[in-house]
């Protein structure tokens, strides 16, 4: 391993979850947390416990389940009640961290906090001390650090380290920095904060100018030894720095950065897929490292070069990031053992019941489709991942549509073990009719914001994948469904999104935000 180790602080479950449409329920968060542990991240920022009862429960469960293997972190504003909630949620974790933040820039001091510099220092220091009573591992973030006067930033950092912060994070909250600017901020802190050696400097970059990864790497060059990032670059607005890009840049350019991480890079692609599937947030085809085209060579001259010698046009091997191509793998006569082996190679860890369900789905698909690809198997498994938490399930449906007819859907849904409920609706097409009937049965009214259909593999008999994003009372929810029948895939996707809205309504009522804002 070359050089210093960079601490990978994953905030997919906190900052990432703040992306519109990306909210996850506790079971989904546990699934992502499990994948992050297997990926080898050093710290999982599991949530913001004061934000809602749902956030508190998710952090508590992640702390209890994974807090012996990976550091679990909870976010808190510099307020007693926030810190108390963070402590409560982290109680079961052996390895735990409280992340306290307070804005420091003039703009935030004047307009948001209405506090002067002395009050900011006083509040930051007392909050770090309060958190420190509970655990040694304390991170402090001067929010909007990049737009904070450098001398004041140095003072805040020095005093919070003296109060017990072991990591000082320097957030570019609004994605304003450029690589050389951010380098100078970090270098300035290293040169002017006398006790800086007692804490790890962390980078936290947003992607508003498309510079989050470049800025994070620049911070590492300047001496930061922790980066805060998310899978697929999820996060507020344009997102956070993408974990997979930072990790692969450090690995591929180890000659230059002379640093390494603990990440098991072969888990990058499966983890990206899982997060995309759970949040419903698609990964763009040409996304670096985990996009479908990231390793596709189209130009003949490139293909020729790669066939002669990979390194002519390939700086990373697809297998190093766990990339799953379109390999033809199995057919109707493949047995259970062959199926199980392939599932393991694809990076899934399924218990017996989940493996059986996946195998049953595979057999059902093999009846409809001659050739089954890795991507089909991945889609079937991911489609089942969030089944368990769904209160409402689709029992059956029927649609009729055609030229000159009124599109109609009849639908039967079941809520847990209650009697199934049947209803019918018309719409401007069979899918619209299905969506309307579902909303009537579940008593929810949603606005469809996005509807996306794609084929998972090749051929007319391919599995179709539908992703939807809906808006229910101003909040966004996503869902994904797969089937060889596109109407059924759409019904599954819409039901998942409605189930998320239903679960949010039941857990949090309407008050999912703190004082009307999420951090």
Partner in contact with 96, chosen from Zn ion, ligand KIV, none, beta carbon below 5 to 8 Å by kind = none
Partner in contact with 29, chosen from ligand KIV, Zn ion, none, beta carbon below 5 to 8 Å by kind = none
Nearer to Zn ion, 15 or 137 (CB): 15
Partner in contact with 287, chosen from ligand KIV, Zn ion, none, beta carbon below 5 to 8 Å by kind = none
Got the DSSP string for 338-382? HHHHHHHHTT----HHHHHHHHHHHHHHHHH-S-EEHHHHHHHHH
The minimum distance between CB 227 and ligand KIV, in angstroms, equals: 13
In angstroms, the CA 105 to CA 115 distance is 11
The minimum distance between CB 151 and ligand KIV, in angstroms, equals: 20
C-alpha dihedral over 220, 290, 280, 75, to 10 degrees?
-20
Q: Specify whether the CB–CB gap between 256 and 4 falls below 8 A.
A: no
Q: Specify whether the CB–CB gap between 235 and 206 falls below 8 A.
A: yes
Nearer to Zn ion, 15 or 207 (CB): 15
Given the rule CB under 5 A, which of 8-16, 121-129, 259-267, 411-419 is the region that contacts Zn ion?
A: 8-16
Q: Specify whether the CB–CB gap between 72 and 93 falls below 8 A.
A: yes
Coil, strand or helix at 22: coil
Partner in contact with 232, chosen from Zn ion, ligand KIV, none, beta carbon below 5 to 8 Å by kind = none
Partner in contact with 276, chosen from Zn ion, ligand KIV, none, beta carbon below 5 to 8 Å by kind = none
Nearer to ligand KIV, 173 or 276 (CB): 173
The minimum distance between CB 271 and ligand KIV, in angstroms, equals: 21
The minimum distance between CB 29 and Zn ion, in angstroms, equals: 18
Partner in contact with 519, chosen from ligand KIV, Zn ion, none, beta carbon below 5 to 8 Å by kind = ligand KIV
In angstroms, the CA 433 to CA 448 distance is 13
Nearer to ligand KIV, 64 or 106 (CB): 106
Partner in contact with 141, chosen from ligand KIV, Zn ion, none, beta carbon below 5 to 8 Å by kind = ligand KIV
Count of other CB atoms within 10 angstroms of residue 369: 19
Nearer to ligand KIV, 142 or 322 (CB): 142
Nearer to Zn ion, 143 or 374 (CB): 143
The minimum distance between CB 14 and Zn ion, in angstroms, equals: 8
- Both tokens of 70, joined, read 């990976």
- What does the buried/exposed string (b/e) look like for 89-101 if buried means 16 or more CB atoms within 10 Å of the residue's CB? bbebbebbbbbbb
Nearer to ligand KIV, 108 or 267 (CB): 108
The minimum distance between CB 18 and ligand KIV, in angstroms, equals: 8
Nearer to Zn ion, 237 or 317 (CB): 237
Of 207, 285, 286, nearest to 246 by C-alpha is 207
Rg (CA), the chain: 24
Q: Which residues bind ligand KIV (CB under 6 A)?
A: 15, 101, 141, 143, 169, 171, 173, 204, 206, 519
Strand-strand pairing, 464-472 and 447-455 = antiparallel
The minimum distance between CB 209 and ligand KIV, in angstroms, equals: 14
The minimum distance between CB 354 and ligand KIV, in angstroms, equals: 34
Given the rule CB under 5 A, which of 9-17, 46-54, 373-381, 487-495 is the region that contacts Zn ion?
A: 9-17
In angstroms, the CA 253 to CA 260 distance is 10
The minimum distance between CB 11 and Zn ion, in angstroms, equals: 7
User: What burial class does residue 389 get, using C-beta atoms within 10 Å of its C-beta: 0-12 exposed, 13-18 middle, 19+ buried?
Assistant: middle
Site for Zn ion in 14-73 (CB under 5 A): 15
Partner in contact with 26, chosen from ligand KIV, Zn ion, none, beta carbon below 5 to 8 Å by kind = none
In angstroms, the CA 147 to CA 104 distance is 8
Nearer to Zn ion, 15 or 374 (CB): 15
User: What burial class does residue 111 get, using C-beta atoms within 10 Å of its C-beta: 0-12 exposed, 13-18 middle, 19+ buried?
Assistant: exposed
Site for Zn ion in 191-230 (CB under 5 A): none
Torsion over CA: 30, 36, 42, 43 (sign): negative
Q: Specify whether the CB–CB gap between 306 and 297 falls below 8 A.
A: yes
Query: Interface with Zn ion by CB under 5 A: which residues?
Result: 15
């Amino acid at each position: 391993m070359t050089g210093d180790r960079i601490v990978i602080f994953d905030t997919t479950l906190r900052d990432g979850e703040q992306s519109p449409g990306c909210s996850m329920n506790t079971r989904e968060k546990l699934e992502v947390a499990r994948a992050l542990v297997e990926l080898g991240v050093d710290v999982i920022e599991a949530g913001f416990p004061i934000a809602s009862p749902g956030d508190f429960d998710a952090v508590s469960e992640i702390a209890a389940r994974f807090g012996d293997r990976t550091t679990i972190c909870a976010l808190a504003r510099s307020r007693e009640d926030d810190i108390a909630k963070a402590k409560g949620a982290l109680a079961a974790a052996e390895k735990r961290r409280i992340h306290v933040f307070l804005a420091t820039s003039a703009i935030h001091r004047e307009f948001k906090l209405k506090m002067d510099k002395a009050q900011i220092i006083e509040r930051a220091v007392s909050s770090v001390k309060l958190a420190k009573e509970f655990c040694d591992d304390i991170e402090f973030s001067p929010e909007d650090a990049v737009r904070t006067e450098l001398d004041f930033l140095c003072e805040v950092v020095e005093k919070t380290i003296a109060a017990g912060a072991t990591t000082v994070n320097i957030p570019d909250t609004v994605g304003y920095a450029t690589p050389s600017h951010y380098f100078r901020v970090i270098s300035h802190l290293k040169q002017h904060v006398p006790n800086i050696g007692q804490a790890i400097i962390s980078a936290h970059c947003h992607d508003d100018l498309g510079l989050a990864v470049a800025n994070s790497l620049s911070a590492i060059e300047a001496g930061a030894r922790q980066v805060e990032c998310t899978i697929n670059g999820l996060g507020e607005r344009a997102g956070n720095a993408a974990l997979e890009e930072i990790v692969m840049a450090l690995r591929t350019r180890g000659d230059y950065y002379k640093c390494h991480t603990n990440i098991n890079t072969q888990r990058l692609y499966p983890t990206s897929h899982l997060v995309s599937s759970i949040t419903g947030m698609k990964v763009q085809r040409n996304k670096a490292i985990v996009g479908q085209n990231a390793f596709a060579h189209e130009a003949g001259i490139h293909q020729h070069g790669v066939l002669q010698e990979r390194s002519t046009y390939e700086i990373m091997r697809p297998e190093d990031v766990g990339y799953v191509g379109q390999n033809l793998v199995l057919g109707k006569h493949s047995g259970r053992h062959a199926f199980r082996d392939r599932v393991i190679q694809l990076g899934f860890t399924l218990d017996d019941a989940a493996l059986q369900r996946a195998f049953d789905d595979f057999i059902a698909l093999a009846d409809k489709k001659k050739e089954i690809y890795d991507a089909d198997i991945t889609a079937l498994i991911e489609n089942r991942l969030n089944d368990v938490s769904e209160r409402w399930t689709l029992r059956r449906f029927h649609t009729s549509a055609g030229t000159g007819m009124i599109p109609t859907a009849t639908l039967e849904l079941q809520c847990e073990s209650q009697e199934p409920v049947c209803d019918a609706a018309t719409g401007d097409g069979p899918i619209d009719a299905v969506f309307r009937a579902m909303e009537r049965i579940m008593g929810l009214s949603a606005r469809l914001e996005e509807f996306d259909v794609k084929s998972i593999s090749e051929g007319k008999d391919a599995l179709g994948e539908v992703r939807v994003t809906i808006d229910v009372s101003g909040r966004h929810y996503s869902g994904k469904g797969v089937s060889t029948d596109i109407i059924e895939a759409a019904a599954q996707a819409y039901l998942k999104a409605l189930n998320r809205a239903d679960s949010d309504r039941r857990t949090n009522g309407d008050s999912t935000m703190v004082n009307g804002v999420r951090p």
